[in-house]
Amino acid sequence: MQINKAEISETILCGLKEYVNTKKSIEPKNLWRLLIKDKSGLIGLILFLIFVFAAIFAPILSPHDPLEQNLHVSRQPPVWSEGGNIEHILGTDSLGRDILSRILYGSRVSVLVGFLGVSLAFSLGMTIGLIAGYKGGIIDDVIMTLTNMVMALPYLVFVIFVAAVLGRSLINVILIFGFTNIPIFVRVTRGEVLRIREAGYIEAAKSIGQKTPAIIMRHIMPNLLGPLITLATFEMSAMILYEAGLGFLGLSVPPYVPSWGNMLSEGRQHLRHYPWMSIYPGLAIVLSGFGMNLLGDWLRDVLDPRMRRSKK
């Protein structure tokens, strides 16, 4: 009896140490210093913030109404080209709409799809992954078989098929990307839960009689957030790319809505003589995707203490 107690307290002590060690990793002051040190992370964050800023303040930033058609000024080149006009900095499209304003408003579609799509996939995927990883057994087998099946399908073909069946609307696009990205979140969550479940501090929490919900909320969830936030950054960038791709094929938001994919799809038809109609919306897609990838790489290094230690 006596030995058992000693063993238990030993376990608790080890667990506590481990727990405190993982807790130390994320502190705002540390985070800022790390960010300044890592240039690519800083660039990523700046690009990402510009992107979100543009989406939120599009009505204030835009020089024109993105839907306003004016055939008198149609097909104007950007301001630095011959025949350009300061009124339309990035030029106009074939209906005389201001390209810069449309790009700014277009970022709203991308941010909405990326943010809401990821939120949906994140919340459902994490819940399912937690159940699979913590419960184990037959539930785990069933969930993982289904997950692997969905992940084995040719993603884009299925997204196109579903988008074509459901029709063009913002809410459909968000639902499609949200639901089709659940499996990846399930897989990552489950993997992490399996790893965390074996840690000393979980055993310690169990041995002092903590209930399962408390263990999950207090000890497992906080440790899941790092890898999942990193994944969310990459997935958001992927969703924005796929949304633009669907728009390019004429399957995303309705044609009158300014979105980067729609602009690319329209602009492509005038590529030979009016390249700016497709080049600049594409550049917006590239820069936002590039920013989120750099940010994701940096987050992965910072939020995962194991990676940081090996870096030092």
Partner 1 sequence: MAYFIIMRLTYALALLLAVLFTVFALLHMTGDPASLMLSRNASPEDIEALREELGFNRNLLVQFGDFLYNAANGDFGNSFRYRQPAMQLVLQRLPATVELASAALILAVIIGVGIGVLGGTNPNTFIDALARGIGLLGQTIPSFWMGIVLVFVFSFTLGWFPSFGRETFAVLGLTLPNSSIVLPAFTLSLFGMGQLARFTRAAVLEVMGEEHVTTANSKGLKKIRIYTRYIFKNAAIPLVSIIGVQFSYLLSGSIYIETIFSWPGVGGLLAEAVSVRDFFLVQSIAFFTSIAVINLHLLSDIIYMLVDPRIRYR
Closest-CA residue to 106 (of 49, 62, 142): 62
- Does position 165 interact with partner 1 (CB under 8 A)? The reply is yes
Residue reference for tokens 């791709």: 245
Shortest spacing between CB 96 and partner 1, in angstroms: 22
**Which range, of 83-91, 130-138, 223-231, 275-283, touches partner 1 by CB under 8 A?**
275-283
Candidates 74, 119, 207, 293; binder of partner 1 (CB under 8 A) is 293
**Which range, of 1-9, 125-133, 136-144, 155-163, touches partner 1 by CB under 8 A?**
155-163
- Does position 217 interact with partner 1 (CB under 8 A)? The reply is no
Give the number of residues written for the chain.
Answer: 312
CB nearer partner 1, residue 90 or residue 193: 90
CB nearer partner 1, residue 26 or residue 166: 166
Label residue 94 exposed, middle or buried (CB < 10 Å: 0-12, 13-18, 19+): middle
Handedness of CA 175, 177, 178, 179 (dihedral sign): positive
Q: Rule CB under 8 A: which of 249-268 touch partner 1?
A: 249-251, 264, 267-268
How many chain residues interact with partner 1 (CB under 8 A)? 37
- Does position 155 interact with partner 1 (CB under 8 A)? The reply is yes
- Does position 290 interact with partner 1 (CB under 8 A)? The reply is yes
Q: Rule CB under 8 A: which of 60-99 touch partner 1?
A: none
Candidates 48, 278, 295, 303; binder of partner 1 (CB under 8 A) is 278
CB nearer partner 1, residue 223 or residue 259: 259
CB nearer partner 1, residue 115 or residue 290: 290
**Binding residues for partner 1 (CB under 8 A):** 149, 152-158, 160-162, 164-166, 237, 241, 244-245, 248-251, 264, 267-268, 271-272, 275, 278-279, 282, 285-286, 289-290, 293-294
